[in-house]
Amino acid sequence: MTDYSLYLVTGRELLPHGQDYFNSLEQALQGGVTVVQIREKNTDTGEFLDVALRSKAICDRYHVPLIVNDRVDIALAVQAAGVHLGQTDMPVSIARKLLPQGTIIGVSCNSLQELEQAVIDNADYVGIGSVWSTTTKNLTKPVIGVRGVGELLQSLDGTSIKAVAIGGIKSSNLLRTLHGSVSKTNHALDGVAVVSELMATTRPREVASHLRDILSAFRSSG
């Protein structure tokens, strides 16, 4: 069973000047990141493959699954644990046919309709966002807000699909994000995904560990 609690989505362009990506990744893992998605938006295939291979080797040492954003071919090439698909990427059903059995498939969702489709497609998890506003991604769809996330989570009642929220999640709003997004039927997030909070820092280990502490506090309070 995959632990989605603290889901790091990489963003090498956000690293502070002089900060090494692989060192940041390793520190974030030491701090308690439970799943890593490698996300490369402006990288050619050769470099993406190289970064993915090296990231996979690091994640393997921490027994943390590596998920590849967008690219089923790169997920296959590096024997990644999974792939993360956006609404305009390869359909889940086709990715499922291409990837080995048991590969994790996640989908980005912003609306009830997208969520219902992800359930029909038998995705393993959904990334719901953006929950807050963010400058990390050029948002083309409305910001959902925590109450909106709660309403969307309710539609997953009775399904086994996992859900993480993404977008603007920081140490400073994590507890509010977790509490505020619990649905009326008590459906809570399985985890939270962060980019800049763990990438745009010289202390990813400490930040990850702090985020884990907040997640634990939330879980022991409910």
Site residues (vs ligand TZP, CB under 6 A): 9, 129-130, 134, 136-137, 166-169, 194-197
Among 26, 70, 190, 197, binds Mg ion (CB under 5 A): 70
* Cis previous bond, 130, omega within 30: yes
CB of 172 to ligand TZP, least distance (A): 12
Residue 70 interacting partner from ligand TZP, Mg ion, none (CB closer than 5 to 8 Å by kind): Mg ion
Q: Which of 40, 68, 32 is nearest to 204 (CA)?
A: 32
SS3 55: helix
Closest by alpha carbon to 202, among 62, 37, 27, 12? 27
Say which entry of Mg ion, ligand TZP, none residue 137 contacts (CB below 5 to 8 A, set by partner kind). ligand TZP
**Which residue, 137 or 205, is less far from Mg ion as judged by CB?**
137
E strands, the chain, in order: 6-9, 35-38, 66-69, 82-85, 104-109, 125-129, 162-166, 191-194
Among 53, 77, 89, 188, binds Mg ion (CB under 5 A): 89
Q: How far is the CB of 139 from ligand TZP (least distance, A)?
A: 7
Instruction: Say if CB 196 and CB 134 are below 8 A apart.
Output: yes
The Cα angle at residue 163 between residues 159 and 168, in degrees rounded to 5: 160
* 40 belongs to the binding site for Mg ion (CB under 5 A): no
89 binds, among ligand TZP, Mg ion, none (CB under 5 to 8 A by kind): Mg ion
Cβ burial of 142 (10 Å; 0-12, 13-18, 19+) is exposed
Q: How far apart are CA 18 and CA 202, in angstroms?
A: 9
Cβ 176 to Mg ion shortest distance, Å: 28
- Contact stretch for Mg ion (CB under 5 A) within 8-16, 66-74, 99-107, 127-135: 66-74
| Closest CB to ligand TZP among residues 48, 57 | 48
List the interface residues with Mg ion, window 134-153 (CB under 5 A).
none
Among candidate residues 20, 163, 111, the one with its CA nearest the CA of residue 12: 20
Q: Whose Cβ is closer to ligand TZP: residue 27's or residue 110's? A: 110
* Binding status of residue 86 toward Mg ion by CB under 5 A: yes
Interface residues toward Mg ion, by CB under 5 A:
70, 86, 89
